[in-house]
Chains A and B, each alone.
Chain A
Amino acid sequence: MASASETSHGSSGAPTNVGLFATCLVDLFRPTVGFASAQLIEGTGCSVHVPEQTCCGQPAYNSGDRQHAQQIARQAIESFEGYDYVVVPSGSCGGMIAVHYPDLFADDPEWNRRARALAAKTFELTAFLADVMKIDAKDLDAEYDGTVTYHDACTGLRELGVKDQPRELLSGVDDLALEEMADTDACCGFGGTFCVKYGEVSTDIVSRKTANVVKSGADLLLAGDLGCLMNIAGRLKREGSSVEVRHVAEVLAGMSDQTPPIGEVDEG
Chain B
Amino acid sequence: MEFMQPGAFKKNANRAMADRDLRSAMAMLNAGMIPNRQGAVDRLPEFEQLSRRGRELKDHVLVYLDFYLERFERNCEASGGHVHWCATPEDARRAVLKICQSVDAKSVTKGKSMIAEEIHLNTFLEQHDIEPVETDLGEYIIQLAEEPPSHIIGPAIHKTKDQVSDLFLKHHAVLGRTERQTDPQKMVNEAREILRQKYFDADVGITGANYLIAETGSSIIVTNEGNGDLTQTLPKIHIVVASLEKVVPTLEDATTFLRILARSATGQEFSAYTTVSTGARRDDDVDGPGEYHVILLDNGRSAMLGSEVQDMLRCIRCGACMNHCPVYQSIGGHSYGTVYVGPMGAVLSPALLGVAEIKHLPCASTLCGRCEEVCPVSIPLPRLLRQWRQRAFEAGVVPNVERWALSVWAFFAKRPWLYGLGARLAMRGLAYLGRKEGRMRKLWFAGGWTQGRDLPAPEGETFQARWRKQQRKKVMG
Partners in one complex: yes
Enumerate chain A interface residues (CB-CB to B < 8 A). Answer: 22, 24, 26-35, 38, 50, 52-55, 57, 59-66, 68, 71-72, 75, 154-155, 158-159, 185-187, 189-192, 194-208, 230-231, 233-235, 237-238, 259-260, 262-265
Chain A neighbourhood of B441, CB < 8 A: 238
A237 partner, pick from B370, B454, B463, B466, beta carbons under 8 A: B454
Alpha-carbon distance A204/B451, docked complex (angstroms) = 11
Alpha-carbon distance A59/B394, docked complex (angstroms) = 16
* Structural contact, B463 and A199, CB atoms closer than 8 A: no
Chain A neighbourhood of B475, CB < 8 A: none
A-B contact pairs, 10 of them (CB 8 A): A22-B464, A33-B463, A50-B468, A197-B363, A199-B448, A205-B329, A234-B453, A234-B456, A238-B454, A265-B435
**B364 close to chain A: CB less than 8 A:** yes
* Structural contact, A28 and B458, CB atoms closer than 8 A: yes
Interface-lining segment among B39-47, B248-256, B294-302, B404-412: B404-412
Chain A neighbourhood of B416, CB < 8 A: 52-54, 75
* Structural contact, B456 and A263, CB atoms closer than 8 A: yes
* Structural contact, A186 and B406, CB atoms closer than 8 A: no
B456 partner, pick from A66, A206, A207, A262, beta carbons under 8 A: A262
* Structural contact, A204 and B449, CB atoms closer than 8 A: no
A200-B17, A235-B453 known; A155-B369 Cβ under 8 A = yes
**B446 close to chain A: CB less than 8 A:** yes
Chain B neighbourhood of A197, CB < 8 A: 363, 448
Chain B, residues 1-33, CB within 8 Å of chain A (1/0): the string is 000000000100110010000000000000000
* Structural contact, A264 and B439, CB atoms closer than 8 A: yes
* Structural contact, B370 and A263, CB atoms closer than 8 A: no
Alpha-carbon distance A259/B457, docked complex (angstroms) = 13
Chain B neighbourhood of A194, CB < 8 A: 363-367
Chain B, residues 346-374, CB within 8 Å of chain A (1/0): the string is 00000000000000000111111110110
Alpha-carbon distance A89/B128, docked complex (angstroms) = 63
B436 partner, pick from A32, A263, A265, beta carbons under 8 A: A265
Chain B neighbourhood of A30, CB < 8 A: 458-459, 463
* Structural contact, B370 and A187, CB atoms closer than 8 A: yes
Chain B neighbourhood of A57, CB < 8 A: 413
* Structural contact, B438 and A264, CB atoms closer than 8 A: yes
Q: How large is the interface on B (under 10, 10 to 19, 20 to 34, 35 or more residues)?
A: 35 or more
* Structural contact, B14 and A200, CB atoms closer than 8 A: yes
* Structural contact, B326 and A187, CB atoms closer than 8 A: yes
Closest to B369 in A: A158
Alpha-carbon distance A67/B364, docked complex (angstroms) = 22
* Structural contact, A199 and B447, CB atoms closer than 8 A: yes
User: What would 14 more interface pairs be, CB under 8 Å, given A35-B467, A201-B327?
Assistant: A22-B463, A30-B458, A30-B463, A31-B467, A64-B388, A68-B407, A189-B326, A191-B367, A191-B368, A200-B17, A201-B364, A204-B330, A208-B329, A264-B437
* Structural contact, A191 and B17, CB atoms closer than 8 A: no
Closest to A245 in B: B456
A27 partner, pick from B13, B369, B449, B463, beta carbons under 8 A: B463
Chain A neighbourhood of B455, CB < 8 A: 230, 234
